[in-house]
């Protein structure tokens, strides 16, 4: 059973690396306060809701969290990193219950994305950190791992279910499969984000229905 232990250890490392990637396990001295971590992330989301991205300051976050500024900087190297982690926690809640058909699952994914983009902290933060990431490669990677991949997981899950149901053919070439998944993901996520944040129109059931119809029709047509 040693391998199971190893897996959990690995999981622990991965989990701790996620939030504080390169920190050694630090055996002596006062350990960092877990409460402080939570308070800071919560304060960050609260500040995002109240102030929006551009008026949010780390000093203010520290004050809201009842924490010194140094305590924030000890954990995060800047505003972008902190906000990514604060918003990423929202994406942990994403779930895709099996709704019985590919169409229903797609609608479920879209509605989940849309609900997230209704939250003001996500609205104001997501575009901002993506904008920052155009000139900051490490940040781009952090966003991919913490946010984008968590979204994409839903799409992959839905596709796997559709295949199991026989609604989609089993793609044998992994490269082609990945390309197809990327395309679908960009189309779903892109359309929802554009509708919600650029066009600023509601992502309601009518829109979702029309969108899903076009997307599914396209998939069917393209596959045949």
Site string for DNA, 45-64 (x = CB under 7 A): ----------x-xxxx----
Asked if 8 is part of the footprint of DNA (rule: CB under 7 A), the reply reads no
Q: Which two tokens stand for residue 143?
A: 């966003």
Q: Which single residue is written with the structure tokens 């897996």?
A: 7
Q: Which two tokens stand for residue 12?
A: 């622990």
To its own copies, the closest distance from the beta carbon of 214 in angstroms equals 4
First to last CA, the chain: 47
Among positions 31, 166, 169, 174, the unique one binding DNA when judged by CB under 7 A: 31
Among positions 12, 21, 78, 209, the unique one binding DNA when judged by CB under 7 A: 78
- Count of helix runs (H) and strand runs (E) in the chain: 11, 0
Measured over all CA atoms, what is the biggest interatomic distance in the chain, rounded to whole angstroms?
Answer: 64
Q: Which does 45 bind (CB under 5 to 8 A by kind): its own copies, DNA, none?
A: none
Contacts of 217 (CB under 8 A, 6+ apart): none
Among positions 32, 64, 119, 140, the unique one binding DNA when judged by CB under 7 A: 32
How many C-alpha atoms does 161 have within 13 Å on its Cβ side?
17
Asked if 106 is part of the footprint of DNA (rule: CB under 7 A), the reply reads no
Asked if 22 is part of the footprint of DNA (rule: CB under 7 A), the reply reads no
Q: Which does 167 bind (CB under 5 to 8 A by kind): its own copies, DNA, none?
A: none
- Select from 68, 15, 62 the least CA-distant residue to 43: 62
Among positions 43, 67, 126, 128, the unique one binding DNA when judged by CB under 7 A: 67
Q: Which does 47 bind (CB under 5 to 8 A by kind): DNA, its own copies, none?
A: none
Closer to its own copies by CB, 165 or 194: give it.
Answer: 194
Closer to its own copies by CB, 40 or 143: give it.
Answer: 143
Q: Which residues bind its own copies (CB under 8 A)?
A: 51-55, 120, 123-128, 130-132, 134-135, 140, 143, 148, 179-180, 182-183, 185-187, 189-195, 197-201, 207, 210-211, 213-222
CB contact at 8 A, 34 and 57 = no
How many C-alpha atoms does 8 have within 13 Å on its Cβ side?
4
To DNA, the closest distance from the beta carbon of 156 in angstroms equals 35
Q: Which two tokens stand for residue 144?
A: 């991919």
CA distance 182 to 172: 16
Which residues would be at the binding site for DNA (CB under 7 A)? 26-33, 36, 55, 57-60, 66-71, 73-75, 78-79
């Amino acid at each position: 059973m040693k391998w199971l232990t190893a897996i959990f250890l690995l999981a622990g490392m991965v989990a701790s690396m996620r939030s504080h990637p390169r920190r050694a396990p630090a055996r002596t001295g006062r350990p960092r306060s877990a409460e402080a971590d939570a308070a800071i992330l919560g304060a960050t989301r609260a500040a995002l809701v109240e102030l929006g991205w551009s008026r949010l300051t780390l000093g203010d976050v520290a004050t809201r969290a009842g924490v010194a500024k140094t305590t924030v900087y000890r954990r995060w190297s800047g505003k972008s990193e902190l906000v990514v982690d604060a918003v990423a926690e929202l994406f942990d809640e994403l779930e895709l219950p099996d709704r019985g058909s590919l169409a229903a699952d797609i609608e479920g994914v879209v509605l989940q994305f849309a609900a997230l983009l209704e939250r003001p902290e996500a609205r104001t933060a997501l575009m901002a950190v993506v904008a920052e990431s155009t000139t900051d490669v490490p940040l781009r990677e952090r966003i991919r791992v913490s946010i984008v991949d968590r979204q994409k997981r839903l799409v992959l899950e839905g596709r796997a279910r559709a295949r199991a149901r026989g609604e989609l053919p089993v793609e044998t070439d992994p490269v082609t499969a990945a390309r197809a998944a990327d395309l679908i993901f960009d189309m779903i996520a892109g359309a929802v984000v554009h509708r919600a944040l650029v066009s600023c129109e509601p992502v309601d059931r009518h829109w979702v229905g029309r969108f899903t119809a076009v997307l599914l029709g396209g998939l069917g047509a393209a596959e045949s």
